[in-house]
Structure 1
Amino acid sequence: MQEHFMPFPKTSEERQAKAVHLAQRWDYPHCIGAIYGKHVLIEAPANTGSQYFNYKHTFSVVLLALVDANYNFIYVDIGAYGKQSDGGIYSASTLGRALSPPNSLQLPKDDVINGDEELGPMPYVVVADEAFPLQRHVMRPYPGKTTSEEQDVYNYRHSRARRIVENAFGILSQRWRVYHTKIAVMPDSVIRIVKVTTVLHNMLQRQSKTTTELLDETSCDLAAGLQPLNRLGTRGTAETMQIREQFTRYFNTHALPWQVQYVRRELNI
């Protein structure tokens, strides 16, 4: 029953443009967008047993989404059973498979960031939270309380970019209050509702004033009716941890004027 839609940028130039725009607006280069997953609450469907019964003891289907710098949904995967483990939901999803080798989303080829030859060619990525695995094309923050200021700087820059997907879910739920309650229709109809609302959301994103007003209302908060995925404790491979370290070096040698002061203030240093 799981379905995906939204036309991901088709050409290399379009995908590159997404990354350039996100770097200009949110200060994370080589990043196409941010990924997040939420449980959309539903009334218990008849004759389905515990398939839709999730870890929060409610019934749901799962919405995975990839969002660009302007809060547009550019890839949406909807319909996984709420009962599935969150790691299983991502790995079995069309989006999870597309972001894994051999990179069927065809993200741009590795190249240097802003002419930094010393750092070497870097892959293009999406940013995610701890609910997602660290992969070659999926960056997650350093876990828990980090041990170095450099890692805290990375986490700050990562969080700044990842916030776009939280904002997108917040705007979506403010525009359509159906997400604030249990949707009392069959799962196939829930999928259609999610499709329609996300498509209309993208159309309304052309009205930047409306977006600003909705962000003020939500204070970047997420809808009460959308439950987050569980955090995963998975470690990355040596290669993926090295990629994150390279981004960390870049963010610390190409600093935003305020980033160190912000991190030190947050850590009470």
Structure 2
Amino acid sequence: MNENRFFNRKHFHSINCQVICDENCNILNVDASYGGPTHDSFIWQNSEIREHLEGLTTNTDETAMLLGDSGYPLRRYLMTPVVGALDDSPAGNYNAIQKRARSTIERTFGILKGRWRCLLGARQLHYSPEVAGKITIACCVLHNICNAAGLDPLHLIVEESQQERVHDP
């Protein structure tokens, strides 16, 4: 593994995780194999879930819908913000609603980082990027187990200032 691909512009190693959650903050898909400098759209373009959704919406009558931030491409199954929309326009109203709906992933990250403090930006996983990615995935699995067991996450939510912010249009 080339550790240089995990060395970001802020001069430390990081992982760019692609995470998909549902409305109940359950993690449906996670990919923690890319370095921090890797662009979201590159990770998406090379993801198995994208291939699955392309096939699903092309070859069947089934539908699926994801919300993405402006780092992702608009697709028939992937709703992204309208770039350059005026706030009081229909597109601006759509952006506001879409952003509120996307806040579920931010809440999921807050709960996940609250449960597993090693994932906080202020902390470091002192392992190779490959092992750190596996630890991240394990935390996501344990997060879902906690959700299934009904453990109350409200006191665990990490403040937004401790999280990375989503891309806005």
Shorter-chain TM-score category? 0.7 to 0.9
Is residue 98–residue 105 contact of structure 1 (8 Å, CA) maintained in 2?
no
Partner of 2:31: 77
Q: Percent identity?
A: 26
Tell me how far 1:209 sits from its aligned partner. Answer: 6.0
Is residue 44–residue 72 contact of structure 2 (8 Å, CA) maintained in 1?
yes
Partner of 2:144: 202
1:109 is aligned to 2:62: yes
Give the gaps of 5 or more residues in structure 1. 2-47, 111-123, 234-269
Larger radius of gyration: 1
Secondary structure, in 3 states, of the residue corresponding to 2:20? strand
Q: Which moved more, 1:72-81 or 1:49-58?
A: 49-58
1:171 is aligned to 2:114: no
Partner of 1:62: 16
Tell me how far 1:207 sits from its aligned partner. Answer: 5.3
1:214 is aligned to 2:156: yes
Partner of 1:135: 75
Cα distance in 1 for partners of 2:58, 2:108 equals 21
Is residue 61–residue 82 contact of structure 1 (8 Å, CA) maintained in 2?
yes
Partner of 1:184: 126
Secondary structure, in 3 states, of the residue corresponding to 1:79? strand
Which string of whole-angstrom CA distances, capped at 9 and with x for unpartnered residues, describes residues 216-238 of structure 1? Answer: xx35x2644xx567x598xxxxx
Cα distance in 1 for partners of 2:47, 2:40 equals 11
Secondary structure, in 3 states, of the residue corresponding to 1:58? coil
Partner of 1:247: none
Tell me how far 1:57 sits from its aligned partner. Answer: 3.1
Is residue 133–residue 232 contact of structure 1 (8 Å, CA) maintained in 2?
no
Which string of whole-angstrom CA distances, capped at 9 and with x for unpartnered residues, describes residues 91-129 of structure 1? Answer: 122233333x3338988625xxxxxxxxxxxxx310011
Cα distance in 2 for partners of 1:105, 1:223 equals 40
Q: TM-score, normalised by structure 1?
A: 0.53
Quick one: structure 1 residues 128 and 222, their matched pair in 2 at CA, closer, same or farther if it must change by over 3 Å?
farther
Cα distance in 2 for partners of 1:104, 1:151 equals 25
Quick one: structure 1 residues 145 and 56, their matched pair in 2 at CA, closer, same or farther if it must change by over 3 Å?
farther
AA aligned to 1:88 is: F
Quick one: structure 1 residues 190 and 147, their matched pair in 2 at CA, closer, same or farther if it must change by over 3 Å?
closer
Quick one: structure 1 residues 149 and 232, their matched pair in 2 at CA, closer, same or farther if it must change by over 3 Å?
closer
Tell me how far 1:214 sits from its aligned partner. Answer: 2.4
AA aligned to 2:26 is: N
Secondary structure, in 3 states, of the residue corresponding to 2:25? coil
Which string of whole-angstrom CA distances, capped at 9 and with x for unpartnered residues, describes residues 10-55 of structure 1? Answer: xxxxxxxxxxxxxxxxxxxxxxxxxxxxxxxxxxxxxx46221123
1:160 is aligned to 2:100: yes
Number of aligned positions between the proteins: 167
